[in-house]
Amino acid sequence: MPNWLKVSLVFIGTVIGAGFASGQEIIQFFIIYGEKSIWGIVISGVLFGLIATAVMCKISVTGASSMEDYFGDIMNGAMLFVLDLIITLFMLSSFCIMVAGSGAVFHEQLILPLWLGIATMCAICIFVFWRGIDGIVELNALLTPIMIVGIIILGAYIYATNGISAIFSVDKLQNNWLLSSIIYVSYNTLTLVVVMTALNKLIESKATAVVSALFGGTVLCAMAAILWWILYNMDTAGAELPMLHAAGAISSVAKGMYLPILYIAMLTTAVANGFGVIKNIKVRFGISEKLGSVLICLVALAVGFAGFGWLVGRLYSLFGFVGLGVMLIILIDGIKYMKY
């Protein structure tokens, strides 16, 4: 598998997490704003491609292997420390959300204890973490294509068997779909630098950077558009896992198809964000990767019981506003490296 595809699959797998694949993010950041929000999906795809291009081009030129390397030429020590803290907290929050999502799947769909789903996700993550960056790349190379193809097949299956038409409704549609789509991209930007710098050896040239970023942005846009179409045309009000609810309303076959896709999405994002946290605390505090793996899983075990939907709605929106500034810095700084 070429390096550009490995990098792109990690990028896609990092963004398509439980919030995305379950439909919670698609509803909370797009669909609640009505039909025009499909343009928000398009804009988010363009922004993902543009931001990823800026990040990867800088990495290919400078060889940055950490967040400190990446931001060190544009921020002083105090600002960098604050940014590092914010990003680490976001990645830890995202990791906890993925773990909570695993608990929701086990409890709601498999009728198994919530704690078992949470513990299972933590155990798998620890196994991958202990393999280092190679484990992250191998996991995404294996599972992300399955997730992409699965979402496409599900969309085609629903279209072919159901012939649905728009019925989504909310109490109050608002008009700030554009801001919401930008916020959605901005909080995902917080993770991007940490994960991509860990892949610096694979981002061997500017061509690799550009192709990886544009392919990733295009796929993310297409996947989001498919989920938007499904959820906009079906009644999933109040569902903790809207896409599973929608698939189940079509047929048991559709639901059976989507359940492993959702779990893969949770896993790929969990390992990417968790690895980023471990990497940062190792640099800051000298904690070994194995101990760091155990510590963040203990945190996730505690936080995971707060509930998946609640965590998505509160934490992602909060970090989205924080991420706006980071996104602007990346874009402005990245222009010179894209032209390099």
Q: What is the pTM of this model?
A: 0.84
Average pLDDT for residues 235-259, to the nearest whole number? 80
Distance CA 177, CA 261 (A): 27
Model confidence at 168, pLDDT cuts 50, 70, 90, reads very low
Q: What is the pLDDT of residues 199-230, one digit of tens each?
A: 888 998 889 999 999 999 999 999 999 999 88
Predicted pLDDT at 221: 94
Average pLDDT for residues 3-14, to the nearest whole number? 91
Q: What is the pLDDT of residues 280-293, one digit of tens each?
A: 888 777 788 788 88
For residue 327, the tally of other CB atoms under 10 A from its CB is: 23
Q: What is the pLDDT of residues 256-270, one digit of tens each?
A: 888 888 888 889 888
Predicted pLDDT at 222: 93
Across the chain, mean pLDDT equals 83
Give the fold, CATH level 3, of 3-338.
Hydantoin permease (1.10.4160)
Give Dmax over CA atoms of the chain in angstroms. Answer: 57
Q: Spell out the domain ranges in the chain.
A: 3-338
Lowest-confidence range among 42-51, 70-79, 303-312, 315-324? 303-312
Predicted pLDDT at 54: 93
